[in-house]
């Protein structure tokens, strides 16, 4: 019997503020390709998030639980160091449009320089989701637009709760 190939662990890093159906599509596809997929939220993000890291982790866990080989985590510091700590050899990222390419190429090249043993693998966003971003979802929802079909229903419910609380605070 030939020796069993080593299992491939991939990290899918991001802000996920909040997770969209585009992210979820990538999780589903990544879970089919890799032996294990770790969806991991950057902790020390300079962007001011709508949801705390813990809230984002809860939202992620709620939607990835059907996938037995998918885990949710968070990280600080350099992504490649975290990947090495988790024995991951692949970084998974999605590309929606040519406008994503330049930023992604820069990050992948830097990460490769820092740790050549870790490869970035890109999946093209499903065209049904290629226009969705967390930033636009928040903007549209904040202005009263309909976001159903853009984020999982559990995320939409949390966005609704967050908006109600913000309104209540404003009225106090
Ligand atoms: O969803 P995002 O915000 O586009 O994700 C960006 C992320 C988290 C992948 C990127 O900012 C990152 O990896 N940050 C960790 C710090 C790091 O390793 N920086 C050097 C990357 S070249």
Q: Whose CA is nearest to atom 3 of ligand 1?
A: 15
Q: Give the model's pLDDT for residue 5.
A: 80
pTM: 0.95
Q: What are phi and psi of 121, to 5 degrees?
A: -115, 130
Which atom of ligand 1 has the smallest separation from the CA of 103?
Answer: 4
Q: Give the model's pLDDT for residue 39.
A: 98
Which atom of ligand 1 has the smallest separation from the CA of 110?
Answer: 22
| 168 CB-contact burial (10 Å; exposed 0-12 / middle 13-18 / buried 19+) | exposed
Q: Give the model's pLDDT for residue 129.
A: 96
Which one from 93, 96, 138, 158 is the annotated catalytic residue?
A: 96
Q: Is 112 known to be catalytic?
A: no
Ranges of residues in the chain whose predicted pLDDT is under 50: none
């Amino acid at each position: 019997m030939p020796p069993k190939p080593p299992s491939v662990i991939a990290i899918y890093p991001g802000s996920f503020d909040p997770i969209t159906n585009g992210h979820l599509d990538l999780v589903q596809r990544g879970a089919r390709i890799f032996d294990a997929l770790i969806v991991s939220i950057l902790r020390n993000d300079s962007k001011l998030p709508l949801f705390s890291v813990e809230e984002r982790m809860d939202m992620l866990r709620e939607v990835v639980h059907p996938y037995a080989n998918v885990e949710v985590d968070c990280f600080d510091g350099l992504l490649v160091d975290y990947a090495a700590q988790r024995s991951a050899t692949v970084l998974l990222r999605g590309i929606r449009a040519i406008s994503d390419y330049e930023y992604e190429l820069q990050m992948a090249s830097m990460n490769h320089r820092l740790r050549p043993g870790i490869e970035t693998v890109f999946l093209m966003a499903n065209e049904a989701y290629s226009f969705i971003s967390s930033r636009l979802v928040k903007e549209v929802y904040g202005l009263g637009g309909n976001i159903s079909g853009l984020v999982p229903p559990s995320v939409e419910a949390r966005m609704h709760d967050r908006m109600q609380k913000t309104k209540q605070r404003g009225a106090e």
